[in-house]
Amino acid sequence: MEEVVAVTYWFEPAPEPPVQSATLRLTGRRLGVHGTPGERDRFTREVRVEDVPAGGGPVSVTAAVDQVNPGVWDVSARMVRLDGPTGSLPVRLVHPAAWSWRRRRLLTGDRRPVRTRPAGRTRPPGILAGGRRVLMTAGFVVGLAVTAALLAGLRGLSGQPVGAFLDATAPGLLYGVAVGRLGCFLGGCCAGRPTGSRFGVWASDRRVGVRRYPAQLLESLLALVAASLALAALVLAGPYHGVIFAAALGLHATGRRAALALRADRRPSRLAGSAVAGLAVGLAGIYVCALV
């Protein structure tokens, strides 16, 4: 397996203007080389970061340099360019990054040699190794347990229509989504767009750590609310021909459309998203009419 030199550095963006882009230059040399160093025993790479928000706090940049020989490397970094909307800005200092889970913040680490590691096994700040896999599994278990409990509560299973079974699966399905989206947040996938707003949350997309819109957390909260409403409807009124299932998923799909607009990898198709949102609103309307 190909090994890489993985390093993380951080810097404070300029207080103005609102959006910037930075270019960092990484320089590395392999330690303990006997004889003349080869091409794979040293490197110089430039890493560019776009959409850096002013006022958003520290920004971390994680880079994995490939095509190098395995071993121990001495790596340094400096900022060579910082651009704003109107031109170049004074460059900022760059620091080695460390991460504190207790404080949930970036710290300045020691500048020490780093050892190569297999590609794909980098450890960016704010990313919990295996966290996404664990929470995805936990979401599946939670959803399965809730669904099993609700199905067991249906009386006379053989006489119940198919819609009743669908209604009973809605809370478990959405509770599982709520837990799984927490795994996305800790795993660095589906990250929100960078923002300087105080309502942002510092998070990483596995490459750039910066204050972002909490798209994953908002979708988790939305799924939690939809699941809780579906569960309350089942407990208070019982299943209703699949209407509860349709309404709960419609509510989640409508809110998810807003959450997708906050993601850095937001979907380009607005027509498809509007159609889904319209369908979801229609299903929610059916549910309200059915209750009335």
pLDDT at 242: 81
pLDDT at 59: 96
Q: Is the pLDDT of residue 95 over 50?
A: yes
pTM of the prediction?
0.82
Q: Is the pLDDT of residue 225 over 90?
A: yes
**In terms of Cα–Cα distance, which of 94, 96, 117, 92 is closest to 107?**
96
Distance of alpha carbon 46 from alpha carbon 78, whole angstroms: 10
Kind plus residue range of the DSSP H or E element containing 5: strand 3-11
Instruction: Place 267 in a pLDDT band, splitting at 50, 70 and 90.
Output: low
Greatest pairwise CA separation for the chain in angstroms: 84
Residue 23, number of CB atoms within 10 A of its CB = 14
Domains in the chain (CATH in brackets) are 3-118 (2.60.40), 131-291 (no CATH)
Averaged pLDDT of the chain: 85
Q: Is the pLDDT of residue 243 over 60?
A: yes
Instruction: Using alpha carbons only, give the angle 163, 167, 173 rounded to the nearest 5 degrees.
Output: 130
Residue 227 tokens, joined: 């699941």
Please report the beta strands in 102-192, taking only residues with DSSP state E, as ranges in sequence order. Answer: 105-108, 114-115, 117-118
Q: What is the pLDDT of residues 4-43, one digit of tens each?
A: 999 999 999 998 889 999 999 999 999 999 888 899 999 9
